[in-house]
Amino acid sequence: MVLNTHSFRALRVRSNTLSSTWLALRQSSSTHSKTNRRRVVITGLGVVSPVGCSVETAWRTILSGQSKIGRLVGETFDKLPCRVAATIDKNDVDLDKCFPKSELKTMARSTAFALIAAKEALTVAGWKPPVEDEVACQRTGVAIGMGMVDLMDICETNDALNKGYNRVSPFFIPRILPNMPAGQLSIRYGFRGPNHAVSTACATGAHSIGDAFRFIQHDDADVMVCGGAEACISPLGIAGFCRLRALSTSFNDEPTASSRPFDEHRDGFVMGEGSAILVLEELEHAKSRGVPIYGEILGYGLSGDASHLTAPREDGTGAILAMTRALTDANVTVADIGYVNAHATSTPIGDAIEARSIRTLFGEHTKTIAVSSTKGAHGHLLGAAGNIEALFTLLACKHGVFPPTVNLNSITQDMAGLRYVANKSEPWESERRRVALKNSFGFGGTNACLCIGEYKE
């Protein structure tokens, strides 16, 4: 996520120094070796999102090139500069029908989304060990994060307090704690492995998957249920991001055109909500159960910009470091990558810096990769962005198809040089193993990159 400003003076290029630096990093990644590492595969997927509330539906919508962003209705929203968002239709998911009232009052909307997505993922993985199976439960962990709490929950509870102390719900604090999606899931299924929650703004979902990957690699668990959840669309949330000049405001009368990553007329991101959950599993553990394997997490890279509260470094080094470290961790080179699923949120500066960082890192291999951002279809899910987009990246590797960037109609000269997948999906034709990078960046300069690959013996 990045600050929306139309000033491009920050996009100065330090080309000579950067080129030599990243060339050395690319070369070093080719000689990096990994030994005795536990391989980590994906055996379960689940999603609750604006583009669909099952993996099959969401993937079909993404490949169709449709935008599911709509207009925010209500007098309070009508007073705000941004009046669009990507919300989950109650006809698709009615929380009142999914949970007893006694359970709903204990959890935030985002937690409910995570539990629904996790149920699908665990069903697909066929992994629901009984609580009496001590070994299985102790070797299964949870890593689910949240970017922001529901600000309206806080406002409404403050109003209740003004009416009297006894009006404050005893579940108020548990509802707003960012680790409660992980906590609720662990309690529900009896998972007693690592219980982990990440809150790194819009890198949350990717960090959650990456951390879960390492828990399995380091033998802290055999199975990890991981991802992110977000549900913070409210007048106060919209107002706050508008004050940062981060949101799109030019397409209130044409909501489906409002999120347009990399496009010349992009003017800010569009808030979304939902959750995506992946079940990661140590390879031999998965093979012993005979379950289908959807793909493999190959590497994980992290970095910090150390630069600005909301904007990425103007030279793109934060993104380049994260991508380079993911490549090194995966023991692959830029020549092995066929696709980059970009963080690209539809902000003027952020998308341009990410495009430049990809060009800088990949160098002469830039022409061989495809780049897209699915946020044009589902908006920016903040803390659930990296995980839902990792899910789509995984499916791209598995099925051999590049998901499109919706609303990408024209680019400016500073965005040239990349093969953007615009508006229509494209086949991923390759005689080699399909391997991709998934970027996620957050406020505070936090960056994550996942290297995801097609599963091969």
Using one digit for the tens of pLDDT, what is the confidence trace for 144-193? 999 999 999 999 999 999 999 999 999 999 999 999 999 999 999 999 99
Residues 6+ apart with CB under 8 A from 133: none
Give the torsion sign (CA, 114, 115, 119, 122).
positive
Contact 233, 70 (CB under 8 A): no
Query: How confident is the model over 273-298, as a mean pLDDT?
Result: 98
Q: Apex CA 266: angle with CA 449 and CA 198, to 5°?
A: 30
Residues 6+ apart with CB under 8 A from 415: 262, 264, 351, 352, 355
pLDDT at 32: 42
Q: Which of 298, 279, 281 is nearest to 338 (CA)?
A: 298
pLDDT tens digit string along 118-151? 999 999 999 999 989 999 999 999 999 999 999 9
- Whole-angstrom Cα distance, residue 414 to residue 418? 11
pLDDT at 7: 40
Confidence at 31, pLDDT banded by 50, 70, 90: very low
- Read off φ and ψ for residue 371, nearest 5 degrees: -130, 135
Contact 438, 449 (CB under 8 A): yes
Confidence at 34, pLDDT banded by 50, 70, 90: low
Strand partners, 304: 446
Confidence at 35, pLDDT banded by 50, 70, 90: low
Helix axes 317-330, 348-362, angle to 10 degrees: 40
Q: Which of 329, 330, 352 is nearest to 342 (CA)?
A: 352
Confidence at 17, pLDDT banded by 50, 70, 90: very low
Confidence at 36, pLDDT banded by 50, 70, 90: confident
The secondary structure element, H or E, covering residue 17 is helix 15-31
Active site residue ranges = 202, 343, 380
pLDDT tens digit string along 336-374? 999 999 999 999 999 999 999 999 999 999 999 999 999
Please count the helices (runs of H) and the strands (runs of E) in the chain.
17, 15
Query: How confident is the model over 83-106, as a mean pLDDT?
Result: 96
pLDDT tens digit string along 45-82? 999 999 999 999 999 999 999 999 999 999 999 999 99
pLDDT at 13: 40
pLDDT at 33: 46
Strand partners, 303: 447
Helix, strand, or coil (residue 5)? coil
pLDDT at 1: 44
Q: Is the pLDDT of residue 2 over 50?
A: no
- Whole-angstrom Cα distance, residue 441 to residue 305? 10
What average pLDDT does the chain have?
93
What is the rounded radius of gyration, in angstroms, for the C-alpha atoms of the chain? 21
pLDDT at 383: 98
Amino acid type, 397: C
414 DSSP assignment: G
pLDDT tens digit string along 372-415? 999 999 999 999 999 999 999 999 999 999 999 999 999 999 99
What's the pTM?
A: 0.92
Query: How confident is the model over 77-105, as a mean pLDDT?
Result: 96
Contact 394, 215 (CB under 8 A): no
